[in-house]
């Protein structure tokens, strides 16, 4: 029995089984609208993709829905993911499932790239299988795999760039250098933190140059290429910061967000280490294999030319983690870049444990998808965990609301702390307000916010809070109620 299992795990069929299982277990949820935790980020991404589709496919002009009286252009990460999704909209039309299939494709590319990267690191198929298996069923990645998250594309490109470089070391092919640098540029433009995938390449190339494993010409090309992609990424983000400054629209966060106090920093780091790492990033079973990998590393002190690259890569990610620590308390997907490092260590832990305790190692490995599904499906994809109003979750109600408002009309929409969920689901643009009662507060000029918005062109009002739409002070602004239920009201504003 064990011999048959070992033979299967050391074959390519085992890897294809990873892709098959990862795909099959997502199929029941492919027609879901954006929902559950981090739905604000999903709708922000989808809104920007929809704006490319409807208002022009220029990736140099990122546009948000909460745009007030402006054209919506603001600074953002480069719209690699959004542009690709908008291109699919051009071919297939706006459909709820398109973004999920699109993300699933990049998720599978990331698994594929990681598997072959592991084969380059250690030519044992069982090592590569174990790492790819744990990677595919990281609970956080498993959840985000079919969400509208640019991080999925960035991960696929970062791993592909690293894979191309590792193969370049063996072949010396300059075409692989071009592919490697191109993938890393896309990864960094899509999400700046994924430029960290260039770090192991930089360390490896320095090691290889010192030991004369690569030529001086190739090393020079690497240095020039690395400088070019780093400069290009930084220039984009400088341009994005200038766009935010010009328009004042800052819905896409591009700034560092350190913890406000030492106590808060300690609380966040404690949560990340004690809860987020074992439960969401690794999964409890894979976390045991990762810890086993650490144990066997310190016990055996293996030598490998990837050790220093992995160490420096880890230190860079930890530095980034500290610089945006306030985000790490609520946005666990910011920690997805750690996954390749964690599961390289986990794969090492698995093969070491497997050589001595086969049954325990296999049980831990087989538990990974089970625990991922137990953690994610009930909490994220079951009834009652939609994370949005049922009026928005019901496509017929949502379409009815959308048809009430002319295409180019400006809308006051809220309360919505994200300033993107309500706009996305109602397919509208205009003036957002974040919290209950905000419309009746006064701004710096001493005017009610609702009066200011009306003066700036608001024509319709969408309120998703019962206290707000029943407030008698707001009723004087309403010309006619177009739609109302126990969750929201749509009204034409009295001019």
Q: What is the pLDDT of residues 166-216, one digit of tens each?
A: 999 888 888 999 999 999 999 999 999 999 999 999 999 999 888 888 888
Question: What is the pTM (predicted TM-score) of this model?
Answer: 0.95
Kindly state the greatest CA–CA separation across the chain. 79
pLDDT band at 27 (very low <50, low <70, confident <90, very high): very high
**pLDDT mean over 126-146:** 97
Cβ-based neighbour number of residue 119 at 10 Å: 19
Q: What are phi and psi of 74, to 5 degrees?
A: -150, 170
SS3 category, 30: coil
- Give the pLDDT band (50/70/90) at residue 433: very high
Query: Which H helix or E strand runs over 206?
Result: helix 198-210
Q: How far apart are CA 357 and CA 360, in angstroms?
A: 6
Average of pLDDT values for 402-424? Answer: 93
The residues, ordered by sequence, that sit 6+ positions from 172 with a Cβ below 8 Å of its Cβ are 214, 215, 218
- pLDDT band for position 1 (50/70/90)? low
**SS (HEC) of 134-197:** HHHCCHHHHHHCCCCCHHHHHHHHHHHHHHHHHHHHHHCCHHHHHHHHHHHHHHHHHCHHHHHH
Residues 103-121, mean pLDDT to the nearest whole number: 97
Q: What percent of the chain has pLDDT over 90?
A: 75
- CA pseudo-torsion sign 489, 465, 29, 128: positive
Give pLDDT tens digits for 453-474: 999 999 999 999 988 888 888 8
Identify the pLDDT of residue 81. Answer: 98
The pLDDT assigned to 216 comes to 87
Output 162-167 pairs: Cβ under 8 A, ≥24 positions apart.
162/113, 162/117, 162/197, 162/200, 162/201, 162/340, 163/113, 163/116, 163/117, 163/120, 165/201, 165/204, 165/205, 166/117, 166/120, 166/121, 166/204, 167/120
Tell me what pLDDT residue 86 has: 98
pLDDT over threshold 70, residue 232: yes
**Helices then strands, each counted (H, E), the chain:** 23, 5
Q: What is the pLDDT of residues 60-91, one digit of tens each?
A: 999 999 999 999 999 999 999 999 999 999 99
Residue 100 has pLDDT above 90, yes or no: yes
Choose among 123, 132, 225, 107: nearest CA to 166: 123
339-388 pLDDT per residue, tens? 999 999 999 999 999 988 999 999 999 999 999 999 999 999 998 888 89
> 287 is written with which tokens?
């976390």
Q: Is the pLDDT of residue 482 over 70?
A: yes
Token pair for residue 462? Answer: 């969408």
Spatial distance between the Cα atoms of 251 and 432, rounded to a whole number of angstroms: 11
């Amino acid at each position: 029995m064990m011999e048959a299992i070992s033979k299967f795990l050391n074959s390519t069929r085992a890897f294809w089984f990873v892709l098959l299982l990862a795909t099959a277990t997502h199929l029941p949820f492919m027609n879901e609208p954006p929902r559950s935790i981090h739905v604000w980020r999903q709708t922000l991404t989808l809104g920007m993709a929809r704006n490319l589709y409807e208002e022009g496919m220029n990736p140099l002009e990122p546009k948000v829905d909460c745009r007030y009286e402006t054209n919506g252009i603001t600074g953002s990460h480069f719209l690699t993911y959004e542009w690709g999704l908008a291109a699919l909209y051009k071919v297939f039309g706006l459909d709820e499932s398109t973004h999920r299939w699109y993300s699933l494709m990049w998720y599978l590319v990331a698994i594929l790239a990681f598997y072959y990267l592991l084969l380059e690191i250690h030519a044992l198929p069982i090592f590569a299988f174990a790492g790819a298996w744990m990677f595919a069923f990281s609970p956080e990645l498993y959840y985000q795999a079919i969400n509208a998250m640019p991080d999925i594309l960035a991960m696929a490109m970062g791993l592909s760039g690293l894979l191309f470089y590792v193969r370049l070391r063996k072949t010396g092919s300059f075409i692989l250098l071009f592919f490697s640098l191109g993938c890393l540029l896309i990864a960094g433009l899509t999400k700046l933190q994924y430029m960290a995938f260039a770090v192991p390449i930089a360390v490896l190339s320095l090691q290889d140059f010192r030991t004369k494993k690569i030529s001086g010409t190739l090393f020079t090309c690497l240095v020039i290429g690395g400088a070019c992609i780093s400069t290009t990424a930084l220039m984009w983000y400088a341009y994005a910061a200038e766009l935010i400054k010009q328009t004042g629209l800052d819905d896409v966060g591009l700034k560092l967000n350190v913890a406000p106090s030492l106590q808060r920093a300690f609380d966040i780091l404690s949560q990340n280490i004690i809860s987020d790492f074992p439960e969401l990033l690794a999964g409890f079973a894979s976390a045991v294999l990762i810890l086993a990998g650490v144990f066997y590393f310190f016990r055996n002190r293996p030598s490998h030319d990837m050790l220093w690259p992995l160490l420096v890569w880890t230190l860079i990610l930890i530095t980034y983690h500290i610089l945006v620590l306030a985000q790490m308390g609520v946005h666990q997907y910011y920690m997805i870049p750690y996954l390749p490092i964690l599961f390289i260590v986990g794969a090492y832990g698995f093969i070491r444990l497997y050589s001595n305790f086969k049954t325990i190692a296999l049980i831990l490995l087989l538990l990974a998808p089970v625990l991922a599904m137990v953690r994610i499906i009930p909490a994220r994809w079951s009834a009652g965990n939609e994370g949005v109003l049922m009026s928005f979750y019901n496509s017929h109600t949502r379409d009815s609301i959308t048809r009430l408002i002319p295409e180019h009309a400006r809308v006051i929409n809220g309360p919505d702390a994200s300033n993107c969920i309500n706009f996305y689901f109602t397919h509208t643009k205009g003036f957002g307000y974040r919290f209950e009662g905000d419309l009746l507060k006064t701004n710096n000029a001493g005017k009610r916010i609702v009066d200011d918005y009306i003066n700036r062109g608001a024509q319709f009002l969408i309120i998703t809070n019962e206290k707000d739409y029943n407030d008698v002070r707001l009723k004087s602004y309403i010309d006619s109620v177009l739609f109302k239920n126990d969750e929201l009201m749509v009204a034409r504003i009295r001019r």
